[in-house]
Structures are given as structure tokens and as C-alpha cells.
Structure 1
């Protein structure tokens, strides 16, 4: 098992399927080559200061070490995105969550110009004219300032 290190690889996996958990998000993407399974770890700044982020990252790495590689699909890239709950969540519970995340069918989210929004839905514009009077006409508009 190799590590993901380049930003382009992380971005490619971010466009793939994802499974949510309280302590992390598992992103996955299949590859067309015959290379090994690759995994990356990321924790954003909103999860705390540098020591807290490093502790989250270390816990995620240890989870993957203890997980049997048979549960991962060959020729896939994975990214574990750490969440703040990874600091306080029980380690065995997180390990069970990770096992479940690898067996759960992943939900694919489209990333594009609409950022996953379904087109053709949402509020429709009201075709009726505005019933309020135009402020530029009327008695107040004809008065001159003093």
C-alpha cells in the first residue's frame, strides 16, 4: 500500500465516491492502472491547531495500519479526511467505522460547476409583476428638497 502525496491525486479522489462517519470522511476513486492501493490523509485547519491536526492524522494512519488490506478494493485510491471528533472518539469505534465505510456502498457526489446541485430544481421565478408602486413616481418623487 502506497501513500498519496500529490495534490492532483487528492483532487481526483475528491471527485469520487464518499462515505461519511463522525470521525472522518472516506473518499475513494477507482484507477485504470494496475498499481497498488494508495491512501492519503488530510485534516483541514478548521479542525484545530497544528498539534491537534497532527494527532488526528496519526490516529487515522494507525487505523489504516490495523485494518486488513483485503477490505480495500485493488486499483483504488483512498483519502481519509479527518474530522474534529477523531480526537475524542474511541479508537475501537473508529476502527469499526472504517471497516463499515469500506464495506458500505459509497455515495457518489458530482463536483462541477453546479457543485452537486441537480439542475432544473429550485425556486422558480415569479412571472407576475411587482405589486409595489415604483418609488420614482408618485407624490414623494415630485417634491423638491428644501
Structure 2
């Protein structure tokens, strides 16, 4: 994922947490803040409670890959994805299902119908 798609600054994280709204399911919490920009930006947070560096980096790698997969359908918001306890035990498919669920709860994920997809190609 390109640097322009990442939330890196502490001030940006603070703004998202303080001014944004949040949605959650059992595996993820997503804080979101509406912004007027060309594309979404995302920050990832995986606690040390979930495992050692190898485990945490695997989770973040999988989340980045899933967000890249979902990118055409994501709104142009800034958001932070926080992994909860239990994510480290999920398979890739289960993680995808849970992340998609929480993104739909927060209305960050917009399904596109087949007509729109064909026009984009």
C-alpha cells in the first residue's frame, strides 16, 4: 500500500479518534472521519497483547492486503482499524469476512453493481 494511503502522523490519529465515529464487531474496531480527498487513508493498530512482532506483522500484512482488495469500494474517509483479541487465531478467509462486516457496519464499504463495474473496465 502506498504511503499516500496511510495515516502516519500522531495528530491525524488523534483527530480520527477524537472527532470521528466508531463501529465494532468481535474482531475489529474501526474509527472513521470523513475527509474530502482523492482516496481513503488507513491506519492500523495491533496491540502487543495479540502476540510477538512476527504475529503482529502478519496481521498487519493481511489487513493491508485485504484493504487493497477492497479499495475500489471504500469511501474516501480517513479511518483506523484496531485488531481485537482473537484476530491472531483467524484464518485469512475469516479475517476477510470479519473486516468486511465491520466496514459495512460503518458504511465505509459501498457495493458496486455490475453495470458500474462494466463502465469502469
Same fold (TM over 0.5): yes
| Larger relative contact order (CA 8 Å, sep ≥ 6) | 2
Residues 14 and 93 from structure 1, CA distance in 2 versus in 1: closer, same or farther, beyond 3 angstroms? same
Task: Indicate which of 73, 76, 80 corresponds to 2:75.
Answer: 73
Distance 1:66 1:34 in 2: 20
Query: Could you tell me the TM-score, scaled by structure 1's length?
Result: 0.61
What secondary structure does 1:84 align onto? Answer: coil
Q: What does the per-residue CA deviation read over 1:45-91, in whole Å, with 9 as the maximum and x for residues that have no partner? A: 22222222212211211221222432x222x1011112232221122
Q: What secondary structure is seen at the aligned counterpart in 2 of 1:96?
A: helix
**Whole-Å Cα distance in 2 between the matches of residues 88 and 50 of structure 1?**
15
Q: Note closer, same or farther for the CA distance 1:36–1:67 as it changes in structure 2 (3 Å cut).
A: closer
Conserved in 2, the CA contact under 8 Å of 1:59 and 1:86? no
Gapped regions of structure 2 (runs ≥ 5): 108-121
CA displacement 1:98-134 (0-9 Å, x = unmatched): 222222147xxxxxxxxxxxxxxxxxxxxxxxxxxxx
| Bigger Rg, structure 1 or 2 | 1
CA distance in 2, matches of 1:91, 1:22: 16
TM-score (norm 2): 0.71
- Which portions of structure 1, spanning 4 or more consecutive aligned residues, are displaced by more than 3 angstroms? none
What's the counterpart of residue 19 of structure 1? 23
Indicate the residue corresponding to 2:32 in structure 1: 28
Q: Runs of 5+ in structure 1 lacking a partner? A: 107-146
What do you get for the CA RMSD once the two structures are aligned? 2.0
Question: 2: CA distance between counterparts of 1:104 and 1:94?
Answer: 15
Which residue in the other structure is 2:114 paired with? none
